[in-house]
Amino acid sequence: MKSITAPIPGYKINEYLLILNPHEDLSTRIMGLKKEFADKYNRGGHIMKPNISIVKFTQYELYEQRIKDNLHRVAMEMMPVKIQMKDYGSFPSHSIFINVLSKIPYQSIAKKVRTETQKLMKFDDDNKPHFFMEPYIPIAQKIPQQLYDKAWLEYSHRHFTGSFIADSMLLLKRPKGEFGYQIADRFKFENLLVGTTQGALF
């Protein structure tokens, strides 16, 4: 279906990514694994810091503050959760990642965000928010199948363990069509009883 939303002239369009990010020591450890893969399998270019993606979406910067306010309200009701990881998994033929065992705690976060914010995140019919309902931490993505076959033969037998307390969500953004993300805001889980209402663009 073609887009039915006409662009608003003069308004900046951003791509956003809402994530859970490991603490610094664990992040450094996983970053080392990502760099090891890149060096061993000759995968050059930018290596993004480790994270568990919750939702990726495109939206006018005009609506950013409203989205932030909504996410702050959602986060205030959430409890910090322990995220545990073990060994490696893959999406056959193109991606290798660290397995996240804490699926139910993660999915409770993702479902809450989806219920309360997805209307605000919809840009048009071709750019709807993409929610990640299965948690994982990428090591390598979009790799050629021949390379995947070779790498997965190794990583399917490798081991990894780690955990962190997810006590906040991080919103990243970048201008549409550009590469590097910048931090837009952090939303702390406070386990408070607050009233939330589902947001709308209009």
Write down the pLDDT at residue 7.
Answer: 60
List beta partners, residue 21.
Answer: none
* Both structure tokens of 31: 């970053």
Q: Please count the CA atoms within 13 angstroms of the CA of 91 that sit on its side-chain side.
A: 14
The pLDDT tens digits of the residues spanning 173-186 come to: 999 988 889 999 99
Tell me the per-residue pLDDT of 33-75, one tens digit each, with 9 for 90 and over. Answer: 999 999 999 887 678 899 999 999 999 999 999 999 999 999 9
Burial of 95 (C-beta count, 10 Å sphere; 0-12/13-18/19+): middle
Q: Is pLDDT of 195 > 80?
A: no
Instruction: Domain 13-188: state its class.
Output: alpha beta
Q: What is the pLDDT of residue 55?
A: 98
- Residue 11 confidence (pLDDT): 87
What mean pLDDT value characterizes the chain? 90
- How far apart CA 22 and CA 49 sit, in angstroms, is 10
For residue 110, is pLDDT > 70? yes
Across the chain, the runs of DSSP E, i.e. the strands, are 13-20, 52-60, 81-91, 95-100, 130-131, 136-140, 161-166, 168-175, 182-188
- For the chain, the domains span 13-188
| pLDDT-based confidence at residue 98 (cuts at 50, 70, 90) | very high
Cβ count near 39 (within 10 Å): 10
Across residues 24-30, what is the average pLDDT? 96
